[in-house]
Amino acid sequence: MSQTSPILSLPYIQPAQAQKHVTHNEALRILDAVTQLSVIDTTLTTPPAQPATGDRYIVADAATGAWAGQEQSVAVWVDSTWQFFAPSVGWRADIAGSGAEVRFDGSAWQDTG
């Protein structure tokens, strides 16, 4: 049996696993980050100076600093660190406050408007 789900890579609880709550909490963290996706910005190449817990961004090309190498990923600020999630084809994200929406086509986020 696989150790993760096929679409969101949610960790499965394994037979006779100790500390099952750790695996369960990690799965909840992933779901919290990527479901009903709404991001603050899609154009930043460097992380904001003072993000708030739960802030989400789509990392723009030519990213630097803590975002280097994470282009096109969804960056989420949680527990005083950035977590990154690689999107799959078809993921959609609302751009907060703009009314715009983007869709990941497998290589880049495209405006759906």
Beta-strand ranges (E) seen in 1-113 are 38-39, 56-58, 74-78, 81-85, 92-95, 100-104, 109-111
| pLDDT band, very low/low/confident/very high, at 107 (cuts 50, 70, 90) | very high
Q: Are 69 and 60 in contact (CB under 8 A)?
A: no
| pLDDT band, very low/low/confident/very high, at 113 (cuts 50, 70, 90) | confident
Summary mean pLDDT of the chain: 95
Q: Which residue intervals of 1-113 are DSSP H helices? A: 20-34
| pLDDT band, very low/low/confident/very high, at 35 (cuts 50, 70, 90) | very high
d(CA 63, CA 71): 6
- Does the structure show a pLDDT above 80 at 112? yes
Q: Give the pLDDT confidence score for residue 73 in this predicted structure.
A: 99
Strands in 56-58's sheet, in edge-to-edge order, are 56-58, 74-78, 81-85
| pLDDT band, very low/low/confident/very high, at 67 (cuts 50, 70, 90) | very high
Delimit the domains of the chain by residue range.
Answer: 1-35, 36-111
Prediction pTM value: 0.89
